[in-house]
Amino acid sequence: MSFFRDLRIAVRSLGRVRALWFTVALTLALGIGANAAIFSVVRAVLLRPLANRDEDRLLYVRQSAPGIGVTNATFSIPEISDIGSKLKTIQELGTFSEIDFTVVGLGTPREIPAGVVDGHYFDVMGLKPILGRLLGPNDDGQNAAGAVVLTYHFWKSSLHSDPSVLGKQVRLESIMGARSATVVGVLEPSVPYPVATEMIANVVTSPHHLSATMVTGREHRMTEVFARLAPGATVEAARAELRAVYAAMTAAHPEVYKPEDHYQIEVTRMHEQINARANAILWILFAASGLLFVIASSNVANLVLARTVRRESELAVRLALGASTRAIRRSLLAEGLVLCGSGAIAAVLLAIPMVNVLGRYAARFSVRANDLTLDFSLVWFGIALALVAAVFLAYVPRLPSPNGAQGGLSARGVRAAAGGSSRRLRIFAVTQITASFLLLAGACVLMKTLFVLEETRPPFDSANVLAVNLPVLSYGKTPEQVEQFYREVLRRVGVLPGVEHVSSGFSAPWRDDQGLNIAFTFAAQGARRNDGQDYRAKFRTVSPGFFATFGVPIVSGRDFNDGDKQGSERVVIISQSLANLLYPGQNPLNRKLWWTDGVMKFIGISTEPRRIVAVVPDFDDENIIPAPTMTVYQPIEQEGWNGRLFVRAHNDPYVLLPAISRTIHEMSSDQPVEKASTLGDVRAEVLSPDKLNAIVFGGFAAVALLISVVGVAGVLAFSVSSRTREFGIRMALGAQRRNILTDVLVDGLAIAAIGVMAGVVLGFGLSAIAGKYVAEIHQPGAVAFVASAFTILAAAVIASAVPAARAASVNAVEALRAE
């Protein structure tokens, strides 16, 4: 019962120093809460096992060609057949191809991200259904019936977990045609990879993919490959075997795998591949939270240690009156428990909303961050740390000796205790400054990156152009009727009030990764030699008026017109950089180029020569920071694909959206009109991960700096209180107030300067070490270090101002009389 009495006394005692209590509780809450929230995210995204059976045996196989800048070339059917035969370390291969289906039959027609797979895919992935069945070998082949499996997320969010969906007939529209299929199952909750899919179908549902499996097109690559290790095999053995098989395959087909393209194959565990994008950013964030915890702990130690030293006389009196050392320690423990316990409770309250915010942040990098909850195992660990801290704060400070309590009653005793404590306080303060500097430098790098991205202007109008997904519906229509539909859409939308220009294309800038990544090899008449190799350019199909819609001028030549259609002379427009590369100092107009890429015969693009009719400025539609682009534009009505509508408005483009949707639905009620967004908003969405990085790390840095300022101010306040007699003597001997003021300010700056120097050394060292393992890390430059150092030193001056003013206001007579 006596300890409960100590707790009540501790509460009353701390109630008289509410500022200290609040500061310690808030500091601990920030340190423990942030770590609990961030570790919850790290554990869920990076450490939690996958739902896949025997995930340690699940592998991801990737082919790349660094020589032509392709990091993931996917695979063709002949390649999969070659590398999958006679493998001993691999039990089975499964394939997945990304596709967008427009689904008719499950509510309002809409375009969804999907995949087509072979009959081994689900067995290789080690997944099971929660409803119905999954696809198997019986679903392979061109005579198989169309079958689809819904992902759990799509079934739950879009279909409200409706069990009657099994057996429903749906129509799946893709760029090359339409097929019917039956819903046969719902997949268990799992991580979608390589893309976030809502539906997975067998190959027969995609006419294009079906044709790809029936031909021997080695260069027709569109399939991801997954593998399952054979029992007892290792990843290293599988990697070595696959590389040997791959080397034999590339040697057998030198016309496809050119030495300068550097084709290669790599194998990684599926768990590592899924986490690859989120791995660096989350571990850096976890390190930042660790620095914040160090700062918080140091600050709490500072505050409580300073309070204990100031109470030296009080403790000496209690010892002199007969209190035992045990009783004193118990009372200090009670105060520590109240301080740290309240901080731990506040940490839990802070961590719950923080994990929701960080979960939404991490979802930008990994789908595994969806629906996160607080990991209470770390919360309990944090509370345990708080209890340990309470014991530390109670038993580490030195108490006055029972046999020499008089020393503690005198000012000399206080000063003697203060001398050693002041050194410890300064060490804690330097630690805080060092950690704060590291966080600030990191935040400066991110802020600078964001500033550059924000200030960079795109080479086309992004504010007044509305991009709308208008996927192709070909069921019951001839190709000519599909073309006529889009032609009529352009005509009708173009005459709506407020519309300045309208056009169409295959991919929307910054948004359609699959379409923007398309590039093919070609040759050009009279072009300068390219070391005997064909050129490579990005491939775009656009309608007449496309460049006017985006406010891009024609440098020379003419735009596409209504006469550029099937049966007429084939024409192209090229970008300025490509014109400079092919014909430096010459006129490229009316020269001929032709596609030489082997994949053309599989996608319906002719290799006949095409006349260059215009040159346009570089139109970089992939990167926020524009780069030189090698692009060839073809008219949609000659060859290519449609699916995106672009509308340039006189004023706010969103005002036009209801009229645009109504006009299109009057022509076809089933036609999806989706993802309407100005390119300015698309750009902002692309930038949101960088903004979130800057906000999160900037927030950590701001909190760390605030805590450090409190720490420096506390150290100097303690120093001033222990040096009152010294200041009194100096002023009695003629020292000016400005000398005292300068002395304290310099003291604060010295603490900050030592911390900054330690931070610079650690910053360079840590960034160099991390850069060897994490390529995505941006190395902090001189600007980041200088800006961080200036901020820290300025904050130190501010933190020193109040203690310095207090020191300068010391009354010499009263200070000496107090002694």
Distance CA 81, CA 83 (A): 6
Model confidence pLDDT, tens digit, residues 758-790: 877 876 766 665 555 444 455 556 676 777 777
pLDDT-derived band at 396, boundaries 50, 70, 90:
low
What pLDDT does residue 775 have? 47
Kindly state the average pLDDT of the residues 426-434: 76
pLDDT-derived band at 146, boundaries 50, 70, 90:
very high
Alpha carbon separation from 244 to 73, 150, 803 (Å, rounded): 19, 38, 72
Distance CA 686, CA 280 (A): 19
Tokens 């995930």 locate to 55
HEC string of 377-422 equals: HHHHHHHHHHHHHHHHHHHCCCCCCHHHHHHHHCHHHHHHHHHHHH
What pLDDT does residue 393 have? 65
Tokens 């070391």 locate to 531
pLDDT-derived band at 645, boundaries 50, 70, 90:
very high
What pLDDT does residue 408 have? 47
Kindly state the average pLDDT of the residues 449-469: 78
483 vs 708: which has the higher pLDDT: 483
Gyration radius of the chain over CA positions: 34
Distance CA 613, CA 571 (A): 6
Tokens 């990191």 locate to 442
pLDDT of residue 459 exceeding 60, the answer is yes
Model confidence pLDDT, tens digit, residues 45-71: 777 778 889 988 999 999 998 888 788
Distance CA 392, CA 390 (A): 5
Identity at 173, one-letter amino acid code: E
The two structure tokens encoding residue 631: 């692009």
Model confidence pLDDT, tens digit, residues 258-307: 888 899 999 999 888 887 766 666 777 777 777 777 777 777 776 776 66
pLDDT of residue 409 exceeding 70, the answer is no
What pLDDT does residue 779 have? 56
424 vs 227: which has the higher pLDDT: 227
What pLDDT does residue 524 have? 92
pLDDT of residue 412 exceeding 50, the answer is no
Kindly state the average pLDDT of the residues 104-113: 89
Strand partners, 540: 633
259 vs 186: which has the higher pLDDT: 186
pLDDT-derived band at 416, boundaries 50, 70, 90:
very low
What pLDDT does residue 376 have? 67
Question: Taking a C-beta distance cutoff of 8 angstroms, is the pair 615, 588 a contact?
Answer: yes
Which residues contact residue 772 at a Cβ distance below 8 angstroms, ignoring those fewer than 6 apart? none
532 vs 548: which has the higher pLDDT: 548
pLDDT-derived band at 436, boundaries 50, 70, 90:
confident
Distance CA 47, CA 274 (A): 11
- Per-position DSSP letters for 335-377, written without gaps between them: HHHHHHHHHHHHHHHHHHHHHHHHHHHHTTT-GGGTT----HH
Spatial CA neighbour of 636 closest among 737, 560, 567: 560
What pLDDT does residue 311 have? 65
What pLDDT does residue 475 have? 81
CB atoms within 10 A of CB 473: 19
Q: How far is CA 222 from the centre of its chain?
A: 26
Question: Taking a C-beta distance cutoff of 8 angstroms, is the pair 725, 719 a contact?
Answer: no
Spatial CA neighbour of 794 closest among 450, 446, 433, 447: 433
pLDDT of residue 492 exceeding 80, the answer is yes
Least confident of 181-185, 218-222, 780-784: 780-784
pLDDT of residue 418 exceeding 50, the answer is no
What pLDDT does residue 610 have? 95
Spatial CA neighbour of 576 closest among 683, 459, 463, 467: 459
Kindly state the average pLDDT of the residues 452-472: 81
Spatial CA neighbour of 192 closest among 118, 70, 96, 48: 96
The two structure tokens encoding residue 57: 């045996």
Least confident of 356-360, 375-379, 406-410, 607-611: 406-410
Least confident of 135-149, 418-432, 659-673: 418-432
pLDDT-derived band at 737, boundaries 50, 70, 90:
confident
Kindly state the average pLDDT of the residues 520-538: 84
Q: What is the bridge-based pairing of β-strands 610-616 and 571-575?
A: parallel
Spatial CA neighbour of 494 closest among 502, 486, 485, 505: 502
pTM: 0.73
What pLDDT does residue 413 have? 46
Mean pLDDT of the chain: 81
Kindly state the average pLDDT of the residues 616-642: 88
What percent of the chain clears pLDDT 70, i.e. is strictly above it?
A: 80
Kindly state the average pLDDT of the residues 326-335: 78
